[in-house]
Amino acid sequence: MTKSISHRLSLGTLAVATAAFLAMSGAAQASVVDLGDAAGFSVLTYNSNNTSDSAFNGGPIGVVNGDWTQSGGAQTDNQQPTQVILSPGHTNNGPSVETTVFDSAKLNSAWADAQNASASLASLAPTQTLGAITTGQTITESAVGHYVLSISSINLNQAALTLSAPAGSTFVLNISGNVSLNGGSQGNGVLLAGGLTSNDVLLNLTSANANLTTTGGSNSQQIYGIVLATGTNASVNLHPGQINAEVIATTLTTSSGALVTPVPEVTPGSVIFGFIGLIVAVSSRRALMGRVRAVAAHRKARIG
């Protein structure tokens, strides 16, 4: 296959074509910020208390200098196999499908990268300053761009904050206070529209004491975006609620069927691979059609 590509396309042509394809493809976008070693976890935390059938699927769980607790019914019973990475001397009190790994160096590096990312994001100049959000609303951007919202707090009851922008855009929500999302009606929380995915959005709780709390049955409060809360006393509390991305928080508490499910990223490598396959397919089809036309011309000449 590689030999066939080299015969049909120069490396320069392939590079230009691939670059153009990636520039046009929103699917090639990575997450909103480089989290370094903190990227790729379902949960990264110092302290955990997860009771009454919560589950964490899609990536390893990391606890820095603390124990992991996860207990209770249905969601936990459906927990997907994953690693729980701990500092030596600590304990995994989770279901049997979780494999315990001790790696303090990885955890310490991940937490440092998360704190650095939070500080870097907090220093960004806002594209909008919104203050306290207390009513449901939609923030719409029509052009592809990188948007930074400065927010003092979010307090919504049976309502949603919806972010909308074309694919390839990103949103950073720098929130200096608390986030409270309450109510049992579906379709509430922090939602996305347009071409955004959870990996394009990050909620950065910037205060040392900030907390994010959700309540309402059946995980009606949904958050689509990475949650970053690395302050000394910062916490994320899902009682219950669902986060469709990674959670990085000093303290994490969940109950009543809470769920964390990261959305896998489409990496540039996989897109390039698919694009190369497309090039090969198109090139092969063109070569085949060329041979068909040559045979037809030869037959026509003989008949004539």
Q: Extract the tokens encoding 219.
A: 């995980």
Q: Does 291 score more than 50 pLDDT? A: no
Residue ranges of the alpha helices (H) in 140-204? Answer: none
Task: Give the N- to C-terminal CA distance of the chain in Å, as an integer.
Answer: 39
Percent of all residues in the chain with a pLDDT value above 70, rounded to a whole number: 77
User: Is the model's pLDDT at 150 over the cut of 60?
Assistant: yes
Where is average pLDDT lowest: 214-228, 233-247, 281-295? 281-295
Smallest CA-to-CA distance from 79 within 96, 67, 93, 92 is with 96
Q: How confident is the model at residue 266 (pLDDT cuts 50, 70, 90)?
A: low
pLDDT tens digits for range 86-112? 999 999 999 999 999 999 999 999 999
- Residues 16-40 have pLDDT tens digits of 333 333 343 333 344 577 899 999 9
Give the distance from CA 259 to its chain's centroid: 14
Angle between helices 11-24 and 268-303 (to 10 degrees): 120
The answer to whether the bond into 240 is cis (omega within 30° of 0) is yes
Using alpha carbons, list the distances in angstroms from residue 214 to 69, 158, 172, 180, 240. Answer: 19, 11, 20, 6, 6
Can you state the percent helix, strand and coil of the chain, rounding each to 5?
Answer: 30, 35, 35
pTM given for the model = 0.79
Secondary structure letter of residue 37 according to DSSP: G
